[in-house]
A and B are shown apart, each in its own frame.
Chain A
Amino acid sequence: MDTASANDFDIRDYLRVELLPHFMCPGCGHGIALRALLWAVHDLKLAKDRLAIVSGIGCSGRVGAYIDANTFHVTHGRPLAFATGLALARPDLEVIVITGDGDCLAIGGNHLIHACRRNLHLTCLMFNNEIYGMTGGQVSPTTADDRLTTTTPYGNAEPSFDACALAAAAGASFVGRGMTLQTVALKNLIRDAISHRGFSFVEVISDCTEIFGRKNDLGSSPEMILRQKGSMKPDTYGNVVDRPFRPNAVQTGVLARNDRPEYGDAYRAAVLGAAGAAVAG
């Protein structure tokens, strides 16, 4: 555990404190995820002026506004598209996308798979709370079987996505999963994802306590976050409980990683290089 880093990390150095109190419900996992991100930014000593946060629409997307950086709150499902333009035009910026399970996998699914394939240097953090939190708790592409939501009043019959498997299959060169239960591990994972040169996808297991938790009688927020433990399958110790909160035990940590060429570098080397030679010749 990075105690040194924990000691000199003060989240207020990275927040627009004048905006507090924030909008999130008590116990919402998104705040913990935000803290892990800012802690990782601190560890990496990233300059706030060079940091660009692009977020989508949802409770997850609203988190971006609290960060003391260049923050862009765009349209529902499209943050990866905006971030692609921004990162290609401004390779000097560190561009981080914050998105939700609905934002990223439903309306933004096509952008996700192509961002993975392109492998542009971006970090995509998907806050997965298994629900459309912002709109009042409708079913999402990651809602587990049988769960009650406001649009699955009889239980969910649709199978859910494994976002990490999807991202890895589509070619993301860094794929990882962390949970708000383990903030240090999550912080380290996000730190490694940002450091990785290429497209990094991190699924953050988060909780919508107020809507999803209540609807499914999952208890208070401490109870909900402790349930994450029951569903995880960490690399270090393989404790899988009988009835996990999520349908299958989920693996955490770095799940896929490779060094294939980063798109911006490849474009600049191959295309700009060739065009430059053509101009000179």
Chain B
Amino acid sequence: MIQFTHVHMNYPGGNEALRNINLHIEQGAMVYIAGRSGAGKSTLLRLVALIDRHSRGQIIVNGQNLARVRNARIPIFRRHIGFMFQDHRLLNDRTVFDNVALPLVIAGSRHREIRKRVQAALDKVSLLAKVNSYPMALSGGEQQRVGVARAVVHRPAILLADEPTGNLDPTLSWDTMKLFEQFNQVGVTVLIASHDIDMVRRMSKRIITLKKGRILTHDGTPTTQ
């Protein structure tokens, strides 16, 4: 599903964020990217989503060589990916419904389908009751779950989560991880970057640890699940 071969990433200004990364993540896997702040976790996710382009090496995502994806095709490429962020990045002037519906609106789904899928996604994160609320009226944990619903509402092949639990207390973090596990169980490939190593260990999934842009260890379950 995701394959890195000798991948390097230099940000303009000479900052080498990733050095010679080799990894293979199977379709349907759930993998944690661990490491200290500045280790290159976010950069790795950004390369997968073509938010940045890598400097050297080869990346294959969903059967596509990313070097060959032209800029004009990037939007279409991204429609198979769902995103989650630490700073949830909800649109505060839109209701929960409109926030979650965004990926479907972008894909041009019909109204009835949008309704159905948004409701299903919100039901999954137990927020159906807040469908007409605005993000500001929700607690931090609820906002995060709206972010989860938005990340999966268009049934992406890959879910990328960058520090999804950074602002949450341990119980809520754990719930969020369990939620990701559920999506993983229906076939979504899940990639989670987190510096919360204790929680990552407790999930007992495969862990890729980065240190200063290099892969330190491949822990946990081997590449196939």
| A-B complex is real | no
Interface residues of B (CB under 8 A from A): none
A residues lining the B interface (CB < 8 Å)? none
